[in-house]
Structure 1
Amino acid sequence: MNLLNDIRDFFFPRICVCCGKLLSAQEEGLCISCLASLPLTGILNTPENEIERRFWGIFPIERATSLYYYARGGLVSSVLHGMKYHGRKHLCIQMGRIMGTALRNTGFFDGIDCIIPVPLHKDRLRDRGYNQSELLAKGISDVTSIPVCTNCLMRTHNNATQTHKSGFERWENAEGLFSATSEAPLLKGRHILLIDDVLTTGATITACIDALKSVTGIKISVATLAWAKS
């Protein structure tokens, strides 16, 4: 098995998504140095934190958090770019496991019944081959054993990328972006955790909440890998 790995690494060298350095056998996705340098928000399960306050007046969410700060051109930006555009599926799951491990002992997951990743449109899912938010959710599920639910929320249209849009354009672009499916009533009285890769204005998460908030007795928490604090 080690020989096969050596052959694979010779022809397809594994490099850090952040610095480009060759990874050791014990490293996955990014090197230990870059992983340790990712800027932590330190929010974890802090009540009434700034991310929670983003959603005040929209929906009474239970909890909200992000693990890392995002800055354009920074290390977290490189991680997200690798997750979304370079086919790094294992990196998505790894970062989910890191999120799950960081939050597991803080009480953040207490009472949560299922994890719902922000869905991709079917056309974009076909082109990319995977949903990075779903793989993040899988990584969290690996650590917490909380099941992932992908059949209660759908993306209704394939909107343009949010990357270069202003705050107002992001909200406009996300309006009516998601809808609840016929399976959504199964969430009645459940506490769900919405998962996405990065939080910017909160427009995408708010659109998900809008699609699900009519479910009787639903409770919603939010977690993202990164936060673009403005």
Structure 2
Amino acid sequence: MLNLLFPKICNSCKNKLLQGEEIICAYCRHQLPLACFHRTNNDTMKNIFYGRFPLENATALVMFQKKGSTQEILHNLKYRGQKEISAFFGKWLGAELSQNDSYKSIDLVIPVPLHRKRLKKRGYNQVSGFGKEIASSLNVPFREDILLKVSQTDSQVFKKRITRFASEEIFTLSKPEEITNKHVLLVDDIVTTGATIENCAQQLLKNTQAKLSIATMAIA
């Protein structure tokens, strides 16, 4: 009865999901432009941060397409309350990373945090489900209490490149001893210029002797 009254639809094409399909229909899933740099040891994403901070590994699941399927899916996640998309991508990428030797030394997973006001307004961090599922696949802790955001900025998605770099996002570590000498996997929804991740990395790597890897849902 619920399916008749409120049918589940694909978060990309909006068609009704068939039995066995979840979040995205089989056709749209196969049409997604995959990045998956971890499969081929491709350094495309890693090169974004070259010279900015030390980085062990970096991967993204899909390529972001403006006015395409990935934009529709991520907008549903961030602005339309479809938070289950986060876990869907996390299960997908987590299953792959668990079979990759480069990610088997990860000690814990940390998400890029939201400011408390943004979190209260949205009701959830769009990266949490993604990070939790990856942590579960890697059999390591997922920690949201270590890296905190202490300044609020507007969404970075629609800003021009130079404006994003000029935006000041301030993060802090509440428990630096928890990541000392650990291999941290930092997770986020999308990489554009890399400014947000760089600001997070500066805090995670400051006086902790930690190693850092990155995994995101998408890369622009």
- TM-score by length of structure 2 reads 0.94
Report how many residues are paired: 220
Per the alignment, residue 178 of structure 1 pairs with: 171
Q: Is the 8 A contact 2:153 2:169 kept in 1?
A: no
Residue-by-residue CA offset, 1:16-75 (whole Å, 9 max, x unaligned): 010011112311111011011110124125446021111121111111111111111111
Residue-by-residue CA offset, 1:123-148 (whole Å, 9 max, x unaligned): 11111111111111012123222211
Q: Is the 8 A contact 1:17 1:30 kept in 2?
A: yes
Per the alignment, residue 77 of structure 1 pairs with: 71
Quick one: distance in 1 between partners of 2:15 and 2:41?
38
Quick one: distance in 2 between partners of 1:114 and 1:208?
15
Q: Which residue identity does 1:57 align to in structure 2? A: G
Q: Does residue 19 of the first structure (1) align with residue 13 of the second (2)?
A: yes
Cα distance, 1:103 vs structure 2: 2.5
Quick one: distance in 2 between partners of 1:126 and 1:221?
28
| Equivalent runs, 1:1-230 vs 2, <5 Å | 7-44=1-38, 46-47=40-41, 49-173=43-167, 175-181=168-174, 183-228=175-220
SS at match of 2:133: helix
Q: Which moved more, 1:7-16 or 1:195-204?
A: 7-16
With over 3 angstroms needed to count, the CA separation of the structure-2 counterparts of 1:215 and 1:151, relative to structure 1, is farther
SS at match of 1:194: strand
Quick one: distance in 2 between partners of 1:67 and 1:91?
13
SS at match of 2:215: strand
Q: CA RMSD in A?
A: 1.5
SS at match of 1:112: coil
Structure 2 stretches of 5 or more lacking a match? none
Structure 1 stretches of 5 or more lacking a match? 1-6
Residue-by-residue CA offset, 1:84-109 (whole Å, 9 max, x unaligned): 11211222101110111232222232
Per the alignment, residue 4 of structure 1 pairs with: none
